[in-house]
Amino acid sequence: MPEGDTVFRTCARLHEALAGRALVAADLRWPGLSTANLVGQTVTEVVPRGKHILQRLDSGWTLHSHLLMEGQWRISRTSENPSAIAARGRVDPRRRERLDRGGRGSDDIRALLVTQEWTATGLRLGMLNLVRTSQEDTLVGHLGPDILTAGFDLQRAVANLSGPIGAALLDQRNLAGIGTMWASESLFLQRVFPWADAASLGSDVLVGVVSRARHLMTANLPHAVPTSTGIRRDGENTYVHARSGRPCRRCGTTIRVAQIGPPTRERAMFYCPTCQDGLAPGDDGGPIAPLGSR
């Protein structure tokens, strides 16, 4: 699932392409939204809220989306004649363009927002809602402090953490934006056991972990390939995330992976049992194959 820094960059691109421009066509391919008419409305801004994307319109409505596991927004120059689109008020449904080299096409499209200059295509989105801007809290009001905002409330975020620290970092109600990569990397760099109870760690340790995650995510905002090691080459950009079965870069112990979180909401947590002082609950310490091997 894309993490807060990826969503932040997505919003920045959408804002640059759409803000201040009127929609000449809009096609929302989502149950309950297919008849919504956004034509003529101007995008005022596109902002992130944790892992959520809020596209605000001058009509007082907000188009909300969440990428979940596979979603993305793509920006391209408007290729069809905008006047023809405007005359129809929609994108020609017969125009089934292949959208990437992987062969995904219009069946993956969940939203199309078309201006004279740019077209934003929402592919495989996990959520799509249209709400009054004044009612955005019905969709994002449950989120904790956004780790990437300038006014991030560190003390409130730390106070929200309870239970196993790894799961607490991933719970967007505590603080918004952290996913499995930055949780795993931050805990490793701070030498904190992911299954340790947050209350037992003390505020200084919790502040250190959250501050480390914020620092890493902020430093990676300008870059499409995230890194905690300072290296952006594939396979060298993390210490533990997606490296199960491989040697720890710090001590040489085999990196392990285990599920963390409450039932139905478990997520993968990568860690070093030596550097982070222990094995995950239920882990017998047996051999583990490198991630991706058979």
Going through 67-156 in order, the beta strands assigned E by DSSP cover 72-77, 109-114, 118-123, 127-132
pLDDT at res. 79: 81
Residue 41, phi then psi, degrees to nearest 5: -80, 145
Total residue count of the chain as it appears in this document: 294
Domains of the chain: 4-140 (3.20.190.10), 154-271 (1.10.8.50)
Q: How far apart are CA 131 and CA 141, in angstroms?
A: 13
Active site residue ranges: 2-3, 51, 267
pLDDT at res. 98: 42
Q: How far apart are CA 24 and CA 29, in angstroms?
A: 17
DSSP state of 89: T
Token digits for 154?
A: 């560190």
pLDDT at res. 290: 80
Would you give per-residue pLDDT tens digits along the chain (294 residues)? 789 999 999 999 999 999 999 999 999 999 999 999 999 999 999 999 999 999 999 999 999 999 999 999 999 999 866 556 555 555 555 544 444 434 445 689 999 999 999 999 999 999 999 999 999 999 999 999 999 999 999 999 999 999 999 999 999 999 999 999 999 999 999 999 999 999 999 999 999 999 999 999 999 999 999 999 999 999 999 999 999 999 999 999 999 999 999 999 999 999 999 999 999 999 988 988 787 543
